[in-house]
Structure 1
Amino acid sequence: MRIDVLGAVRAFHDDGSPVELGGPRHREVLGRLVAAEGRMVTTDTLVDDLWTDPPTRAVGALRTFVATLRRSLEPDRPPRNPPRVLVTEGPGYALRLPRENVDVHRFQDTLARTRRAPEAVSDLGAVLADWRGPAYADVTGSAWAQRERTRLEELRLEGVELRARILLDSGEGADLVAELGAHVAEHPWREPAWGLLARALYRAGRQADALATLRRARTMLVDQLGLDPGADLQRLETDILNRSAPLEGAPPAWTGPGVRLGPRTTVHLARTLALAGGDALVHSRRDRLAAVQAAERTGDPLLTARIIGAYDVPALWSRADDPEQSRAVVAAAERTLTALGPDGPADLRTRLLATVAVESRSADQSGTELKRAQQAARQAEALARDLADPALLAFALNGVFLQSFTRPGLAALRDGIGAEILDLATGHGLPNFAVLGRLVRLQSASSLGDLDAAASHAEAAERLAATTEAPLVSVLTGWFRARATAARSTEPGGPTPATAAAHYRAAEDALRTAGMPGLHRGLFALALLGLRLLHDRPAPTDPHLDWGPYRPWARPLVLLAQDRAEEARAALATVPEPPRDHMQEALWCLTARAAVRLDDGETAARAEAALRNAHAEHAGASSGMLTLGPVTRYLTEAQACAGTG
C-alpha cells in the first residue's frame, strides 16, 4: 500500500483504490506514526499529541482509532493474525512500511541521495512534483504537525534550490525562470534563490533582466533588513556584467556516476544546509568533511585553508554531534596550518585556528586537546582583532565561547562574549551570528536566574530566525520555555510539575528530528531528573529513559530511588569528574546530592570545592534548556556533609 502526507493525509491500496481512513483523529494518528519514520511512538506521547487536555478515556479512544485504522489498512487480514502495517510495539505503536511507499520518506531519501550524487537530479524533480500542498495539511492545531510542516517545508525549499543549482551548474536551466521567479516571490529572504533566478535569466539570454533581478535583491535586503548582499551575489553580478566563462556554459560540475561537485561548491552548499537542521544538518556535516578531504588531495594548502575556513557556521553547544568528524576536521586544519607556516595569509590562519577552537568541543576532548584548542581560540581572537574584520572576529569569538567552560561559575564571562558577538553582528550585518549572540546571552541569563532577560533574548532570537530562516532556533527557545516553566513550578500558584514535564516532552519531540545528537542524547532524562530534584522527589526510574552521556552522574540517584543504597555507593565511587561543558555545574550538583544522601563526606567536599565559584548560578541552566535549581542549595548540603560550612 501507499501513504501520502505531502498535502492531506491519505492512503491507497496496492490496486490504487483509496483507503477510507475515518475521521480527523484517525488521520492524525496515522500521520503522527508516519512522522516517527518507523520508530515506536508511546501511547502517552500519542495522547499528548492528539489532545491539549486529554479526556478521561483518551487511551481507550486512541485504541479505538488504531483498531479502525488497522481494519482499513489491512482489510483482508484474517482474524487473530497480528497486524503487519500498524503494529503494537512495547508501550506504543509503529508503522511498518517500506520507505519508498511513503511519499515524505521517498522525498527525504531522494533529497539526501541527490546531495551525494547530483546525477539523481531528475529523481529529485519527480519527488518535488509529489507535493500537493503543506505537509499534513489536514492536521490543524497540533504542535507536532506544525513542527513537521516547518521542517519539511525547509527541506522542500532546499530541494527546489538544489535542483536548480545542479541544472545550472551542468549547463542547463534556461527553462527554470518561471519556477524560480515564483519561488523568489514567495520566499524573498532566501538570498541564494535570487542568485539562482539571475543565473537562469542569464542562461535564457536575458542579461539585463538578470542584472535587474540582482539589483532588486540588493534593494530589498538594504531597505528592509539593512543588510548588503552577500559576497556570492556581488560576485555573480560582476560575472554577468563581464559575461564570464562559468555563466556562458562551463563544463558541468559533474558528468556521471562517481563524479561529485567540486570542493568549493560542496562546502558552500554544506554551509547553507547546516542552518536548516534535521536531515540537512546531518548531511551538511558529511558533505563538509568530503569537501575538506577533496581539497587536501589537491595538495594546495591555500585552497584547503579556504575550504576549511568557509564553513563558519555558528555553534552553540559544547558537545559535538559527530566527534569523529570534528576530530578529522581539526586534524586537517592543523595540518594546513603547518603547511601554511607562520607567514601564511593571516586571514586564512585565523579561520583555521577558529575552526580548531570551534570543532574541539570540550566534552569530547582530552586534556592535551583542550589546551591546544584554548590556545587556538586565543590566537584566532588576537589575529582577528589585528585584522579588524568583524565577520572573522565573530567567528573567532565563537571559538572563544566554546572554550570558556574551563570551570564552573563563568556565566558572566560568557555573557560578555555573547554581547560582543551580538554587537559585531548587529553593526555589520551578520544575522546568523546575531542569532548566536542572542542564544549565548539567553544561556547566560538563564544560568544567572534572570528569566526575564533570558526570555527577551529568546524572543529577539526568534525574530531574527524569521528573517534568516533558521528553524533550529525555535527548537532551542522551546527548551528554554520548558526550563522556565520548570522553575516556576516551584512557586506558589505556578504551573504544576506535570505541566512542566509536558513542556519538556514537547521540547524533546521537536529536538528529536533536529539533527543534533550531541545536544539531544540524554537531555530529556536529565531535565526530568532536574524537575524531580526541584520538588524533592526521587530520581525517575523508567528503564526506557535514555541518559546518554549523563548516565554515570545520574546512576547513583536512580539506584537510591530504587532503594539500592550499596549499589549507589559503588556507583558514586566510580563517578568521573564532569567534562568541562554546559552541564558541568549540573553534574557536580548530582554528585553532591548523591554524596549527601550516602553520607560520603570526601566526595561531598570535592563537589563543594568545584561548585564554590558557581554559588550565584543555577545548576544546568547554562544550557538554557533545563534546571536543577540554584547551585547554592546543593553547595550548602555538600558543605554540611563535608564539614566545610
Structure 2
Amino acid sequence: MQIDVLGAVRALHDDGSPVDLGGPRHREVLARLVAAEGRMVTTDALVDDLWTDPPVRAVGALRTFVAALRRALEPDRPPRNPPRVIVTEGPGYALRLPREDVDVHRFQDTLARARRSPDAVTALGAALADWRGPAYADVTSSAWAQRERARLEELRLEGVELRARILLGSGAGADLVAELGAHVAEHPWREPAWELLARAQYRAGRQADALATLRRARAMLVDQLGLDPGADLQRLETDILNGSVPPEGTPAAWSGAGVRLGPRTTVDLARTLALAGGDALVHSRRDRLAAIQAAERTGDLALTARIIGAYDVPAIWSRADDPEQSRAVVAAAERTLTGLGPDGPADLRARLLATVAVESRSADLSGAELKHARHAARQAEELARHLADPALLAFALNGVFLHSFTRPGLAPERDRTGAEILDLATRHDLPNFAVLGRLVRLQSASALGDLDAATSHAKAVDQLAATSEAPLVPVLTGWFRARVTAARSAEPGGPTAATAAAHYRAAENALRAAGMPGLHRGLFPLALLGLRLLHGRPAPTDPHLDWGPYRLWARPLVLLAQGRDEEARAALAAVPEPPRDHVQEALWCLTARAAALLGEGGTAVRAAAALRTAGAEHAGAASGMLTLGPVARYLAEAEACAAG
C-alpha cells in the first residue's frame, strides 16, 4: 500500500494499481489523516476541517467515509478483525502506515537526511521527482489543506535549492543551469535561487551570464521591492568580477557559513509564533528543533547554545505536548553543555540548564531523569541570580516551577515562585513572564481553595493577554471559570451540575483548537468525573470518553459505576502512583475513593500517606482548570478504610 498526496490524493496497491478511494470527501479524510503524520485527529476536528458549516449528521457522515476508506484500503481484511491502516484511537482516527509508504513523509524525511549529509542527494532528487503537482491538489477549499500546501511548497523549494547546492559542491555546473533558470523564473523573489543560478553559470564557464543574472536579480529586487541584494549576492558579484569565486566546498562548510543568521532568525520567529497557540504553536516547536539541528551542524558551540536558549517561551503545564521532541531538545542542550564545559560562559550555561528543566517535563521520564532536571533548574536559578539578569532569572524560575510537583501539597511553594516571576516581569517589562506569573498564582490560589484571589489573578491575566497578544490565556481562564462554576454547584443556591458541565464543555471546545495536546487529552472526562464526585454521583460510563493519560486512575470508579466490582478491584490493584504533575492530588483522591468503596485497606494506606501533606488543598485544582473538591474529604475516607 502506498499513499500519495504530492499532487492529487491517491492510493496504490502493492502492484501499482490504483485504489478506488471514493468521492472528494473520502479523499479529504484520508489526506487530513496523512497531514497528521500518525497522530490522532479527533472526530470533532475532522468535522470542522471538512465542513465550514457542519450538517446535523456530520459525525455520521464522517464515520461512513472512514468505513468506506477502510474497505478500500484493506479489501481482504476478515470480518471483525480490527483495521490496521485507519485505526480508531480515543475520540478520533489515526493513519498507521510506515513513513516510507507515504510520499510526503518520505520527502520530508529525505530532506532532513540531505540537510545532514550530502550522500542523500540522489534520494533527494528522487523525492523531488515524486511531486506531481501542488500538495493535496484536489483538496482546494479547506483551510487546513491550504496551510499544509503552503508549508510543503516552501520545503519543496528548499529541497530544490539544497540539491543544487550539494551538486555544485561536488563539481556539477553546466547541467544545472537550465534547471535553476526555470526555478528562478518561477520564483523570482528567492535570493538563494539567483545565487545558485549565477554559481552554476560561472561553474559552466559563463562568467558574463553569471554577472548578468546577478544584475537582473539586483534590478528586480530594487525596482519591485525597494530592497538591495543581500550580502551573499553582493559578495558573489565581487568574486566573479575578480575571477576568484571560492568553491562551494562540502555541505558542512556551506551550511556552517550560511546558518549563522538563519537558525537565530528561525528560532526568534518560532518563539513569537509559539505564543500565538494553535497550529502556530505546533509548527513553531518543529521549526525551533530544525534551527537547533542546523546550529549543531556548524560545530559552533556558542551559536548552538544561543539558539537553544533563545526559545524562552513560558510554560505553565507540567507535561510536554510532544515528549519525543522535548527529549531531542534536552539531548541537544546536554551535548552543548558538555561541549562548553563547567567554565563555559555563565549566561549560556544558565539558558541551557533552564531549557533542560523546562523541556524535561514529560510524564514518562524516569525518576533519575526528573531528579537531574530539578537539579538543572536550581543550577540555572543560581547562575541567573549571580548574573543579575531578570529575564534569565524568570526563565530559570519557570523551570523551578515546573519541577515543584515532587509531592502533593506544594501550592504555597509554587505561589512564592509565581510571585517572584510576576515581580520580575512587572519591574523589568517582561510581559510574557507577567502572564506566566499570574497564571502560576491563579493555579496556586485555586489549589488552596481561595477562589476570590484566583479570580483576581484571572481578571488581571486576561487584561495582560489582551495587550500582549497571548490568545492561549483566555482558554486557560475559561477553564478556571468552569472550575469555579463546578465548585459553586455543590453549594446551596449555586448553579446546577448541568450548568457546570456545560461550562466545562465550552472550555473543552476552546482548548481543542489551542494547540496544546499535552494539556488537552483526557482533561474533560476528568473534569466531569470531579463534578460527579462533588455531587455524590458515580463516575461517567460513556464509552466514547477519551480518558487519555488518566484512564488507569479513573477505571476502577468507572467499573464500579457499571457494577463490575471484581474487575474494579483488579483495576485498582494495577493503578500506579500518579505522575508528579498538576493533577497528582486528584489522581490520588480517585485511588482513595476507589479503595474506600472496595474496602482495600492496603491501597487506602498508600493513598492516605500521599495525601496528608495536601490536606489543606483541593484535588485537581492545582491545574486551575477543574476540581474534585477538598482533599480532606478523600483523605478522611482513606484513613477510615485503612483503620478497618
TM-score where L is the length of structure 2: 0.66
- CA distance, structure 1, for counterparts of residue 522 and residue 490 of structure 2: 23
Q: Which residue of 2 aligns with 1:344?
A: 344
| Residue 639 to residue 398, structure 1, CA distance change in 2 (3 Å) | same
Deviations 1:349-377 (A, max 9, x none): 00000000000105231101011001100
Deviations 1:113-140 (A, max 9, x none): 36656769xxxxxxxxxxxxxxxxxxxx
Q: Which residue of 2 aligns with 1:639?
A: 639
Q: Is the CA contact (8 Å cut-off) linking 2:327 and 2:359 kept in structure 1?
A: yes
| Residue 115 to residue 451, structure 1, CA distance change in 2 (3 Å) | farther
Q: Is the CA contact (8 Å cut-off) linking 1:112 and 1:283 kept in structure 2?
A: no
SS of corresponding position for 1:335 = helix
- CA distance, structure 2, for counterparts of residue 99 and residue 414 of structure 1: 51
Higher Rg: 2
Following superposition, the deviation at residue 491 of structure 1 comes to 1.2
| Residue 276 to residue 490, structure 1, CA distance change in 2 (3 Å) | same
Equivalent residue for 1:100, pick from 120, 133, 139: 139
- CA distance, structure 1, for counterparts of residue 234 and residue 420 of structure 2: 44
- CA distance, structure 1, for counterparts of residue 528 and residue 229 of structure 2: 59
Q: Which residue of 1 aligns with 2:149?
A: 110
Give runs of aligned pairs for residues 160-239 of structure 1, distance below 5 A. Answer: none
Deviations 1:497-542 (A, max 9, x none): 1111111111111111111111011001100100000001000000
| Residue 443 to residue 294, structure 1, CA distance change in 2 (3 Å) | same
2:618 corresponds to 1:618: yes
Give runs of aligned pairs for residues 274-313 of structure 1, distance below 5 A. Answer: 274-313=274-313
SS of corresponding position for 1:365 = coil
Q: Which residue of 2 aligns with 1:599?
A: 599
2:545 corresponds to 1:506: no
Deviations 1:3-42 (A, max 9, x none): xxxxxxxxxxx9xxxxxxxxxxxxxxxxxxx99553489x
Q: Which residue of 1 aligns with 2:65?
A: none
Q: Which residue of 2 aligns with 1:219?
A: none
| Residue 541 to residue 169, structure 1, CA distance change in 2 (3 Å) | farther
Q: Which residue of 1 aligns with 2:582?
A: 582
Following superposition, the deviation at residue 463 of structure 1 comes to 1.1
- CA distance, structure 2, for counterparts of residue 542 and residue 590 of structure 1: 18
SS of corresponding position for 1:38 = helix
- CA distance, structure 2, for counterparts of residue 600 and residue 390 of structure 1: 51
Q: Which residue of 2 aligns with 1:527?
A: 527
Deviations 1:235-278 (A, max 9, x none): xxxxxxxx9965997889xx9xxx99932222112111111111
Q: Is the CA contact (8 Å cut-off) linking 1:362 and 1:579 kept in structure 2?
A: no
Deviations 1:526-562 (A, max 9, x none): 0010000000100000000000010010000000000
Q: Which residue of 2 aligns with 1:322?
A: 322
Following superposition, the deviation at residue 587 of structure 1 comes to 0.4
Q: Is the CA contact (8 Å cut-off) linking 2:485 and 2:500 kept in structure 1?
A: yes
- CA distance, structure 2, for counterparts of residue 578 and residue 286 of structure 1: 29
Q: Is the CA contact (8 Å cut-off) linking 1:362 and 1:405 kept in structure 2?
A: no
Q: Which residue of 1 aligns with 2:120?
A: none
Amino acid at match of 1:515: G
Q: Which residue of 1 aligns with 2:46?
A: 38
Give runs of aligned pairs for residues 483-494 of structure 1, distance below 5 A. Answer: 483-494=483-494
- CA distance, structure 2, for counterparts of residue 543 and residue 465 of structure 1: 37
Q: Which residue of 1 aligns with 2:110?
A: none
- CA distance, structure 1, for counterparts of residue 231 and residue 351 of structure 2: 27
Q: Is the CA contact (8 Å cut-off) linking 1:362 and 1:403 kept in structure 2?
A: no
Q: Is the CA contact (8 Å cut-off) linking 2:508 and 2:524 kept in structure 1?
A: yes
Q: Is the CA contact (8 Å cut-off) linking 1:40 and 1:93 kept in structure 2?
A: no
- CA distance, structure 1, for counterparts of residue 536 and residue 315 of structure 2: 35
| Residue 567 to residue 204, structure 1, CA distance change in 2 (3 Å) | closer
- CA distance, structure 1, for counterparts of residue 226 and residue 294 of structure 2: 34
Q: Which residue of 2 aligns with 1:223?
A: none
Q: Is the CA contact (8 Å cut-off) linking 1:315 and 1:358 kept in structure 2?
A: yes
Q: Which residue of 2 aligns with 1:552?
A: 552
| Residue 396 to residue 545, structure 1, CA distance change in 2 (3 Å) | same
| Residue 36 to residue 586, structure 1, CA distance change in 2 (3 Å) | closer
- CA distance, structure 1, for counterparts of residue 414 and residue 233 of structure 2: 49
SS of corresponding position for 2:336 = helix
- CA distance, structure 1, for counterparts of residue 425 and residue 568 of structure 2: 48
Q: Which residue of 1 aligns with 2:476?
A: 476
Following superposition, the deviation at residue 328 of structure 1 comes to 0.8
TM-score where L is the length of structure 1: 0.66
Deviations 1:604-627 (A, max 9, x none): 111001000100100000000000
Q: Which residue of 1 aligns with 2:409?
A: 409
Q: Is the CA contact (8 Å cut-off) linking 2:191 and 2:233 kept in structure 1?
A: no
Task: Structure 1: give runs of 5+ residues left out of the alignment.
Answer: 1-13, 15-33, 51-60, 68-88, 121-165, 173-199, 207-242
Deviations 1:51-105 (A, max 9, x none): xxxxxxxxxx9579x99xxxxxxxxxxxxxxxxxxxxx9xx999xx997232423
| Residue 281 to residue 596, structure 1, CA distance change in 2 (3 Å) | same
- CA distance, structure 1, for counterparts of residue 480 and residue 381 of structure 2: 29
Amino acid at match of 1:291: A
| Residue 350 to residue 169, structure 1, CA distance change in 2 (3 Å) | farther
Q: Is the CA contact (8 Å cut-off) linking 1:171 and 1:250 kept in structure 2?
A: no
| Residue 633 to residue 521, structure 1, CA distance change in 2 (3 Å) | same
Q: Is the CA contact (8 Å cut-off) linking 1:202 and 1:247 kept in structure 2?
A: no
Q: Is the CA contact (8 Å cut-off) linking 2:43 and 2:92 kept in structure 1?
A: no
Give runs of aligned pairs for residues 536-547 of structure 1, distance below 5 A. Answer: 536-547=536-547
Q: Which residue of 1 aligns with 2:367?
A: 367
SS of corresponding position for 1:603 = helix
Q: Which residue of 1 aligns with 2:35?
A: none
Following superposition, the deviation at residue 488 of structure 1 comes to 0.7
| Aligned alpha-carbon RMSD (Å) | 3.8
- CA distance, structure 2, for counterparts of residue 414 and residue 282 of structure 1: 27
Amino acid at match of 1:388: A
Q: Which residue of 2 aligns with 1:72?
A: none
- CA distance, structure 1, for counterparts of residue 92 and residue 289 of structure 2: 37
| Residue 613 to residue 106, structure 1, CA distance change in 2 (3 Å) | same
- CA distance, structure 1, for counterparts of residue 313 and residue 326 of structure 2: 13
Q: Give the stretch that moved more between structures: 365-374 or 109-118.
A: 109-118
Give runs of aligned pairs for residues 452-463 of structure 1, distance below 5 A. Answer: 452-463=452-463
Give runs of aligned pairs for residues 140-179 of structure 1, distance below 5 A. Answer: none
Identical-pair percentage: 73
SS of corresponding position for 1:563 = coil
- CA distance, structure 2, for counterparts of residue 98 and residue 390 of structure 1: 49
Q: Which residue of 2 aligns with 1:427?
A: 427
Following superposition, the deviation at residue 110 of structure 1 comes to 3.5
- CA distance, structure 2, for counterparts of residue 524 and residue 363 of structure 1: 19
| Residue 251 to residue 415, structure 1, CA distance change in 2 (3 Å) | farther
| Residue 264 to residue 325, structure 1, CA distance change in 2 (3 Å) | same
| Residue 115 to residue 577, structure 1, CA distance change in 2 (3 Å) | farther
Amino acid at match of 1:489: S
Following superposition, the deviation at residue 205 of structure 1 comes to 5.9
Q: Is the CA contact (8 Å cut-off) linking 2:479 and 2:507 kept in structure 1?
A: yes
SS of corresponding position for 1:593 = helix
- CA distance, structure 2, for counterparts of residue 369 and residue 273 of structure 1: 29
Q: Which residue of 1 aligns with 2:383?
A: 383
Following superposition, the deviation at residue 643 of structure 1 comes to 1.2
